[in-house]
A and B are shown apart, each in its own frame.
Chain A
Amino acid sequence: MFQVRIHGRGGQGVVTAAEMLSIAAFDEGRYAQAFPSFGSERTGAPVVAFCRIADKEIRLREPIMEPDALIIQDPTLLHQVDVFAGLKKDGYILINTNKSFEQLGLGDFVRDWPHDRLCTVSATDLSRKHVGRPMPNVPLLGGFAAVSGVIRLESVIMAINEKFSGKVAAGNIAGATEAYEIVRAAMEAARGEDKESAHA
């Protein structure tokens, strides 16, 4: 089972992101479970959503305590909520930001982390560019597909089409695709670096 935990704030589409991730996995013929952990509706409050992906029925209902991957939609949470709690060793960390991990103050934390598990995407900018709204969730899913390979970009696109329609769907697809490409390129570069440092 692969477990993803998504952190963000109310209004950033965190819950929708988890749902779409589950739809993408379903479209690939897998079992998926997505659910939120939130209280009364409130924009701006910290929100967590979970998504489990597996190849047989998922019976487990507890919140994801030991995620295989983290998607952080709002970096202002980094020093407010313990987003990394229980993260598995060498788990994927995908952050919505145009800063680097060092600039976010996470340099020490990820010092020995494999570079191809760490990923930043300017998802809010991509969303503004393609959809005209600062909604980082969809581009981040494209980035997640690229960094983890757990789902294909095509599945993310199918999920987008199920949730949205018309121009909004088209914009979201463009945003997710561009994020995918950016991350894929970054991962190749990162793997190149790792190889080099391994040889050195």
Chain B
Amino acid sequence: MLKQTEGSHAVAEAVALCRPEVICAYPISPQTHIVEGIGEMVKSGELKNCEFLNVESEFAAMSVAIGSSAAGARTYTATASQGLLFMVEAVYNASGLGLPIVMTVANRAIGAPINIWNDHSDSLSQRDCGWIQLFAETNQEALDLHIQAFKLAEELSLPVMVCMDGFILTHAYERVDMPTQQQVDAFLPPYSPRQVLDPAQPVSIGAMVGPEAFMEVRYLAHAKQMQALELIPKMAEEFKTVFGRAIGGLTHTYRGDDAETMVIAMGSVLGTIKDVVDEMRDAGHNIGVLGITSFRPFPLAAVADALRHCKRFVVLEKSLAVGIGGIVATNVRMAVTGMGLKGYTVIAGLGGRSITKKSLHALFDKAGRGELEPLTFLDLDWNVVDRQLERERLTRRSGPAAEAMLRDLGTVASKIA
């Protein structure tokens, strides 16, 4: 059924349709509306057979999820940014124990400095933890990916992180097609785990594994993600059959068949990029888009395939690997090794800095002319940066850059002669 609703609420409804049994979460911007939505549904009786727990921290949230999932209940939680970091020990524990927990990460920057706006630092900081990571481009995709996520998780015995841009998607009202309970039931069977805490069949879970077996266990975790590379596209096909929409999968391209320049990105910024690409195509540029939906497992083959005919690619990412450059970019480069392509990394939108059509037009133009630096920070205020660098060069004084920069920003700057 078509609805005009907030992204968070769409996700809450979709999760509810998946018949979750235990939901445990701790509030953090910008995930709050998702959990509040589900909490209300449970309390009012609209969502039945579901225990909703208000926990005392994100670490507790993931831990409660671990206990619940190990005891055989379909379990869900949500977090962002600092909250994700606070639960990291448990995040690794969940994937190590093979528990099919589904978690929404409402992508938000990580401090210091504290910042509540969108970027991909949080999810990407956990790219190696063993969870499957899916990135939604629209609220429709966000809600649909949650439905796919439960099935994927339970099929593989591996937890799944569904990532959606904080505020930009979570707090945006847009049109979505909400599935029916019958459709979801047809797609998602009840959770019946292989190993569960059950007095009828006692089992010990979580023992210490030493050097004699640890490598095998870790290889198997990797192998499982390789299985996911096969399963994710199959899941998308199945989804299309039941729901009538092409959603999910590993990657998708837009006007990429004959593109000379390919722009690669994840999440909601793909929408803005596609608008720019349309305008540039109208002006005669051969430019296309590759959207990555599954970041983990990273679809090396699909990325290489999408880029095989282009001359150059621009990775536009809302993330920064401090000390080296791009995160998505380094993953992409691994896919295109030996293909002789020219690649550019663009770090954009950190901490919620708007990514505008105007800036993208200029950026892609430059890329087309081969004039981009290997690493670009989009729309950086070089004036502020240079003054701070000069300040640091002249005075040996450690401390946070944000505070030192104050002399150049806001009302303080305007008062200095």
Contact = CB atoms under 8 A, between A and B. Distances in A.
Q: CB–CB under 8 A between A and B in the complex?
A: yes
Interface of A: 18-19, 22-23, 25-27, 31-36, 39-40, 58-63, 65
Contact of A60 (B29, B173, B271): B271
B271 A59 contact: yes
Contacts of A18: 173
B275 A22 contact: no
A60 B354 contact: no
A32 B272 contact: no
Nearest to B267: A61
Interface residues of B, number: 25
B171 A31 contact: no
A62 B173 contact: no
Interface string B161-186: 00000011001111100000000000
Contacts of B172: 33-35
Contacts, number: 61
A36 B33 CA distance: 14
B272 A35 contact: no
Contacts of A63: 354
B262 interface: no
A31 B140 CA distance: 13
B12 to A, nearest CB: 16
User: Which of A19, A31, A59 lies at the interface centre, i.e. has the most chain B CB atoms within 10 A of its CB?
Assistant: A59
A60 B354 CA distance: 11
A63 B173 CA distance: 14
User: Which of A31, A33, A62 lies at the interface centre, i.e. has the most chain B CB atoms within 10 A of its CB?
Assistant: A62
Contact of A65 (B271, B274, B356): B356
Contacts of A36: 167, 171
B268 interface: yes
Contacts of B175: 26, 31-32
Given A39-B116, A58-B271, 8 more contacts: A27-B4, A32-B4, A33-B172, A36-B167, A61-B168, A61-B269, A61-B271, A62-B272
B58 interface: no
A51 to B, nearest CB: 8
B4 A26 contact: yes
A50 to B, nearest CB: 9
A79 B173 CA distance: 30
20 contacts: A23-B173, A27-B4, A31-B174, A32-B4, A32-B173, A32-B175, A34-B173, A35-B168, A35-B173, A36-B171, A59-B270, A59-B272, A59-B275, A60-B272, A60-B275, A61-B269, A62-B355, A62-B356, A65-B356, A65-B358
Interface string B256-270: 000000000000111
Contacts of B272: 59-62
Given A35-B168, A36-B171, A22 B271 contact: no
B116 A22 contact: no
B4 A22 contact: yes
B224 interface: no
A26 B6 CA distance: 13
B309 interface: no
A180 to B, nearest CB: 21
B357 interface: yes
A33 B171 CA distance: 10
Which 9 pairs across A and B sit closest by C-beta, in order of nearness? A59-B271, A26-B4, A35-B172, A34-B173, A22-B173, A62-B356, A19-B173, A23-B4, A61-B272
B29 A40 contact: yes
Contacts of A25: 4
Contacts of A33: 172-174
Given A35-B171, A59-B274, A40 B116 contact: yes
Contacts of B171: 35-36
A60 B279 CA distance: 12
Nearest to A59: B271
Interface string B320-341: 0000000000000000000000
A16 to B, nearest CB: 10
A35 B4 contact: no
A35 B116 CA distance: 16
Contacts of B356: 62, 65
Nearest to A65: B356
A168 B306 CA distance: 54
Contacts of A40: 29, 116
Nearest to A22: B173
Contacts of A32: 4, 173-175
Given A35-B173, A40-B29, A60 B168 contact: no
A63 B167 CA distance: 12
Contacts of B357: 60, 62
